[in-house]
Amino acid sequence: MAATFDEAVRYYGMKRWDLALQMFHSVDASALTAEEKTNLAYYLGLCYTKLERYNDAAVYLEQVVTGEAGALRVCQCRLTLAYIYMVTSRPRLAEFELDRLLKSGFRSVQIYTMTAYAAFMQKNNDRALKMYETALAIDPNNATAMNGLGFLLVESGKDLRRGLELCKKAVEKSPHNAAYLDSLGWAHYKAGEFIEARQWLRRALDLAPRQKDISSHMKTLVAEAS
């Protein structure tokens, strides 16, 4: 027996992604209106995203953003697509989705920080710095923006001291975030403070032992400090 759309949504709300996906696929799409078909594509895209089946997710989310969905739903889908493209190492496509949001008048810390990271992935540090600064202007206490801007200022050599302070503030906001601990450790390394660098990088590694960037930073520190 085919599932109803409302039943599938209920299982999605219960975070039973696999079952929800099966139920959405069993919905009789021929009986749906155009709006309901867009909603079906939306939920299929979200289910596939939750299950980390990103290529499948993108197919359905693209249907939503190119269809007649409302502005807020399109915004959510473009943000999700940008996330998918970044985790699958396609930053140019991520930046495209985020730029479409900015051109449509959407403004948020999340959009600016994601745009900054997409630019950073493409080695466009000037744009990344600008986007992080804009995010901090909106919310001076945003840990993601502080960490991203701090790391870039340190890595680029533009302002080591400010970068270090921003990394410290990000860690104070979220002391168990491995990425923030790594940034702070790397900032201390760049400042020539090897003892402090080892302390923070070790904490980052303890939390995320398989994270390649953290391991690389620790290896660099050990090689230079030995």
pTM given for the model: 0.88
Pick out the chain residues at pLDDT < 70. Answer: 1-3
What pLDDT is recorded for position 137? 97
Reference 225, options 201, 204, 196, 194; nearest CA is: 194
Domain ranges within the chain, ordered by starting residue? 1-90, 140-226
CATH of 1-90, one of 1.25.40.10, 3.20.20.70, 1.10.3210.10, 3.40.50.360: 1.25.40.10
CATH architecture label of 140-226: Alpha Horseshoe (1.25)
- Residue 69 to residue 191: CA distance in whole angstroms: 50
Cβ(217)–Cβ(179) under 8 Å? no
What is the tens place of the pLDDT at every residue in 16-31? 999 999 999 998 888 8
Token pair in block for residue 131? 């986007």
Q: Which amino acid appears at position 184 of this protein?
A: L
Cβ(152)–Cβ(129) under 8 Å? yes
- List CB contacts of 213: < 8 A, sequence separation 6 or more: 182
- List CB contacts of 194: < 8 A, sequence separation 6 or more: 188, 221, 224, 225
What pLDDT is recorded for position 3? 65
| DSSP code, position 2 | P
Query: Do 1-90 and 140-226 agree at the fold level?
Result: yes
